Structure formats: C-alpha cells, structure tokens
Amino acid sequence: MDKEDFRTVGESTRFLLRKRAIQLCLSGKKQYEVAQLIGVKKETVCHWNKRYKKVDFPALKGKKTGVKSEDKKLLSPQQEKEIQNMIIDKMPDQLKRDYALWTRKAVKELVEREFKVVLAITGYSGAN
C-alpha cells in the first residue's frame, strides 16, 4: 500500500490519522511502529502523544499557521471603505487625477494622497 503524504491530505483526515495514532499507542503499539503505519516520523507520534496527554483528543486538531491576512494590510478597514466609496462614487478626473478610468496606478496614487500610505503595485510595468 502506498503511503499518502501527510501534508497533502485535508485537515479532517490529518485529525483522524492523529487520533488513530494515539489509539494505536494506547493499545500497546510502540511509537516507531505507529509512525511506520501512519507514514510519519517517530518524533511526530511522540509530539502527538504529548499533546494528547495534556488535553486529550481536542489537542490533536490542527492549527492554522502562517501570517494572517489582516496582519499584512496597510490600510484599516475604515480606510479601505473610504477608498472604495471614492472609487464607486467618482471618476479619477473628478478627484483631480490624470486618468480617465480607475487603474492600479490611479488607486495607488489616491491611497498615497488620502492616507500617506505607499502601496506597491505587483508586476507594475509602467504601462498604466
């Protein structure tokens, strides 16, 4: 039987595999045997056991990792809403911009003018 890469399966499947690993350990199997059956390192099974002993099965649920999208934002939700309203209600030339339509560059310049926040335009080539 081919083992599936643990990182490629969904969170519900990972939780079930963690739970199954703990059940196998509780039934008397050695951690290295469980690791081979599940397809992870022995240290991973040891880590799961420690978490299980502290809090029981809820400790085996996965946690989202990485940076939250809110942490990367340069504008507050209110500032975003103000810019959106300006874009919806007016054309760039009405706000003294040198553009006929809203482009990335026009929005960037509007944000800089209104909130003194410099935004990067990913992939900007200067064509807009």
15 and 51 housed in the same domain? yes
Residue 9, CA atoms < 13 Å, CB-side half-sphere? 14
- Give domain status of residue 121, yes or no: no
Per-residue pLDDT at 65: 63
- Give domain status of residue 55, yes or no: yes
Residue 32 region by backbone torsions, left for phi larger than 0, else alpha for psi between -120 and 50, else beta = alpha
Per-residue pLDDT at 116: 93
Per-residue pLDDT at 1: 42
- Give domain status of residue 96, yes or no: yes
- pLDDT tens-digit map of 40-91: 889 988 888 888 787 776 666 666 666 666 677 888 889 999 999 989 988 8
* Domain that includes residue 42, residue range: 6-60
Q: Is the pLDDT of residue 18 over 90?
A: no
Per-residue pLDDT at 81: 93
